[in-house]
Amino acid sequence: MHTTPIGKFIAGIPKAELHLHIEGSFEPELMFEIAKRNNIKIKYKNIEEVKKAYRFNNLQEFLDIYYAGANVLIEEQDFYDLTYAYLTKVNEQNLIHTEIFFDPQTHTDRGVEFSTVIKGIRRALKDGEKQFGISSKLIMSFLRHLDEESAIKTLEQAMPFKKWITAVGLDSSEKGNPPSKFQRVFEMSKQEGFLTVAHAGEEGPAEYIWEALNLLDVSRIDHGNRCLEDEALVQELVKRQMALTLCPLSNLELKVIQELHHHPLNTMIDKGLLVTINSDDPAYFGGYMNENYFGIAKALDLSKKQIYQLAKNSFHASFLDEESKKEMIAKVDEYYRVHG
């Protein structure tokens, strides 16, 4: 794909990522390396066996394996290596800005200190900025299969590191865990000055997207695919120009869609929704940003102009300040002027 005209265009265009779980960028090679130095046993014999296990029928099957993988992360250096490996990879893909989720409870529930997690990630982000010129924001995500009390405790643990965190989010098992369960902790987070986002409408119903808008006061919806089942909701999202952070390869691998050409991206664009392309958990779903763009461009026969618009949307929907947004969008415009 990257040798075709549209593939080359995708590979080179400056882009931002707005939906990436850092634990989901944990490549098996690094997982084995870190497991070895931490003396932790992995239940797979080798990398081929791990990759064979990455076949999922739904979100929960994936989450079970994703949390098991994260178990080998213990030391600050592990979180550093994980994050730096992601930045090294996406730097080759002309990513110039990224907004990264981390799931503190996945680690604090195993006895790893909150400070260990965030210090490792933060140091890698700062080094990555120096080394690659990639800017970043951090989003602390609450696990929705746990109770609100645990989320409140996590918010308290985050307080000493408040200036490093831009927003709070909501992820993990969606069905049966509606946004309303976390209304209070989101309210508390907003009072501390955090922006809010939430996964909604990936597997859960359109009603959960309404709740994310009305009860959690989100600035973006992560996924949001199932908004299309409710026309009034679509109109509301369009009216608010509420960004959806779509993840095509994730949708395919978790059977939200059966084939990539069934992806509703074009319908969403036609309805005037503000959509962006993201990788979600690239180590598990077969690709980083460019592979997501390649896949969806091929499946839906997207034009250079549409790719250009998607890349612009990624900056427009970001949490960058207006000045930085303008500068980065100018780079996208210039790229389109030369290569479009």
- The residues assigned a catalytic role are 202
CB of 68 to ligand ADE, least distance (A): 13
Q: Judged by CB under 6 A, which of 25, 136, 172, 278 binds ligand ADE?
A: 172
Residue 199 contacts ligand ADE per CB under 6 A: yes
Q: Which residue is nearest to Zn ion (CB)?
A: 280
Neighbouring CB atoms inside 10 A of 11's CB total 17
User: Which strand ranges, in their side-by-side order, compose the sheet holding 95-102?
Assistant: 15-21, 95-102, 135-143, 167-171, 195-200, 220-223, 243-246, 274-277
Residue 226 contacts ligand ADE per CB under 6 A: no
CA–CA distance, 7 with 90 (Å, rounded to integer) = 16
Neighbouring CB atoms inside 10 A of 257's CB total 17
CB-nearer residue toward ligand ADE: 96 or 292? 292
Neighbouring CB atoms inside 10 A of 258's CB total 9
Instruction: Evaluate whether 267 touches 228 at the Cβ level (below 8 Å).
Output: yes
For ligand ADE, what does the binding mask look like between residues 54 and 93, x meaning CB under 6 A?
Answer: -----x------x---------------------------
CB of 123 to ligand ADE, least distance (A): 23
CA–CA distance, 93 with 2 (Å, rounded to integer) = 11
Q: Which does 76 bind (CB under 5 to 8 A by kind): Zn ion, ligand ADE, none?
A: none
Q: Judged by CB under 5 A, which of 107, 280, 302, 313 binds Zn ion?
A: 280
Instruction: Evaluate whether 96 touches 16 at the Cβ level (below 8 Å).
Output: yes
Tokens at 180, concatenated: 């309303």
Q: Which does 83 bind (CB under 5 to 8 A by kind): ligand ADE, Zn ion, none?
A: none
CA–CA distance, 101 with 104 (Å, rounded to integer) = 10
Residue 24 contacts ligand ADE per CB under 6 A: yes
Closest by alpha carbon to 89, among 287, 221, 278? 287
Q: Judged by CB under 6 A, which of 83, 196, 250, 279 binds ligand ADE?
A: 250
CB of 20 to Zn ion, least distance (A): 8
Segment near Zn ion (CB under 5 A), from 46-54, 80-88, 174-182, 272-280? Answer: 272-280
Reduce the DSSP state of residue 273 to 3 states and report it: coil
Q: Where are the alpha helices (DSSP H) in 96-224?
A: 104-108, 114-132, 148-158, 183-191, 206-214
CB-nearer residue toward ligand ADE: 78 or 280? 280
Segment near Zn ion (CB under 5 A), from 105-113, 261-269, 273-281, 300-308? Answer: 273-281
Looking at this protein, which amino acid is placed at residue 314?
Answer: S
Residues within the interface to ligand ADE (CB under 6 A)? 21, 24, 59, 66, 171-172, 199, 202, 250, 280-281
Residues within the interface to Zn ion (CB under 5 A)? 280
